[in-house]
Amino acid sequence: MQDLGKQMKALIAQLYPICRSITGDGVRETLRILTQEIPLQIREVPSGTQVFDWTIPREWNIRDAWIKDSAGARLVDFRELSLHVVSYSGPIRQRMTFEELRPHLFTLPSHPDWVPYRTSYYTDNWGFCLSENQLARFREKEAYDVCIDSSLKEGYLTYGECLVPGKEPNEFLISSHICHPALANDNLSGTAVAIELFKCLTSKTNRYSYRFLFAPGSIGAITWLALNEALLPRILHGLVLTCIGDESPVTYKRSRAGDAEIDRAFVHVLTYKSGGNKVIDFSPYGYDERQYNSPGIRLPVGCMMRAVHGTFPEYHTSADNLDFINERSLTNSLETLSEVIELIESNHTYINNRPKGEPQLGRRGLYRSPGAGETQLAMLWVLNLSDGSHSLLDIAERAKLPFTQIKQAAGALAVTDLLTVKSP
């Protein structure tokens, strides 16, 4: 797994400098790099397309941007950090006084050397983000040359998706947003973990089909939903991955329903892990789980996080950089995710074929077999509750035993005549 951590970190480092937004070449370049990792299909949806309550906006591209002082020195330089330009800033090339410029400068007074991240998607505007320290170098009386070499034109919204077909057509959705520029945890971490998860899943046979979506936040998820309404009933489970590369313990945010199978599975896995993991209820603030859990969509989609958006100082600042994330956390996120998926893959409902009294385990070699230990109790629980209305997770919850133990017991019983998977 250590190698996977390195690979994920490396992919993040490769993607970090690209200036992403909700449309444009930054998204395209990001997806192109991902296609080198997995067989992603790229979709281009034209500006002006109606997607539910929204319209795909004009495409934004940017080549350069700077503020120069009268001596021609670049005080703020887009090429150094893509965060320096407010995302979706319209083009401008003008000399102006500090007084005129000031309303277009955004800083973070509480952290004088950090640059904030700002967007202006649906209102025509322009601006620069810079550190307080940079701002201190400006002079009241001086004039500045301002340049944003950007364009806002009819174009496309771009996203990528990819399916790992399973034995069932029913799907598990993994969704990650790709609209943030130089922010590592939010959300290159989610993208990188999703890529490795995809590779893990393709290396084996799965029960469910896994759909991976890499799309711009909000408008991207809405676009995908609008274009794929017919397949939504197939989605039985889903997760939004976001901010999962930092040092915080895992936080799982439940779906709107609150007790979907994905909710119970994730909570179960966290229950048997140490390290201060946390479960929070659904709320309509956050990432694309907002869209998936909207009242007309209602997909059972939870959200996996480590640091929770809006609650850590580095959130939406230049401090969410490559140093803010680490290989160990990325690896741990991938492992946790894999355990949750493994649980859901195995969460069958079985039928006890000898339901009257306990069956004679002894003559099937299952009675206190060496090393059976706790498995004996787990077997009895599986037999007792496999009446067709309890899944293995139901049984694990009631038995207060780890799912893995219940699953192992069911496996041992299923090779005899005692236990059969309930046909759907």
Residues that bind a second copy (CB under 8 A): 51-54, 122-123, 218, 221-222, 225-226, 229, 256, 283-285, 290-291, 293-297, 352, 354-360, 362-363, 377, 380-381, 383-387, 399
Beta strand 74-77 pairing with 171-177: unpaired
How crowded is residue 46: how many other Cβ atoms within 10 Å of its Cβ?
11
For the CB of residue 225, give the shortest distance to a second copy in the complex, in Å. 6
Q: Taking the chain, what is the end-to-end CA distance rounded to the nearest angstrom?
A: 35
For the CB of residue 220, give the shortest distance to a second copy in the complex, in Å. 11
Which one, 123 or 274, has the nearer CB to a second copy? 123
Find tokens 């993040």 and name the residue: 12
Spatial distance between the Cα atoms of 272 and 195, rounded to a whole number of angstroms: 26
For the CB of residue 293, give the shortest distance to a second copy in the complex, in Å. 7
For the CB of residue 199, give the shortest distance to a second copy in the complex, in Å. 30
The SS3 call for residue 47 is coil
Which one, 273 or 422, has the nearer CB to a second copy? 422
Which one, 165 or 355, has the nearer CB to a second copy? 355
For the CB of residue 114, give the shortest distance to a second copy in the complex, in Å. 22
Spatial distance between the Cα atoms of 331 and 349, rounded to a whole number of angstroms: 31
What is the dihedral angle through the alpha carbons of 232, 234, 236, 238, rounded to the nearest 10 degrees? Answer: -50
For the CB of residue 100, give the shortest distance to a second copy in the complex, in Å. 23
Which one, 255 or 346, has the nearer CB to a second copy? 255
Spatial distance between the Cα atoms of 269 and 343, rounded to a whole number of angstroms: 8
- Do 36 and 198 meet the contact criterion of CB atoms below 8 Å apart? no
Which one, 44 or 358, has the nearer CB to a second copy? 358
Find tokens 């901010």 and name the residue: 243
Which one, 225 or 340, has the nearer CB to a second copy? 225
Spatial distance between the Cα atoms of 418 and 219, rounded to a whole number of angstroms: 51
For the CB of residue 255, give the shortest distance to a second copy in the complex, in Å. 12
Which one, 98 or 126, has the nearer CB to a second copy? 126
Spatial distance between the Cα atoms of 265 and 195, rounded to a whole number of angstroms: 22
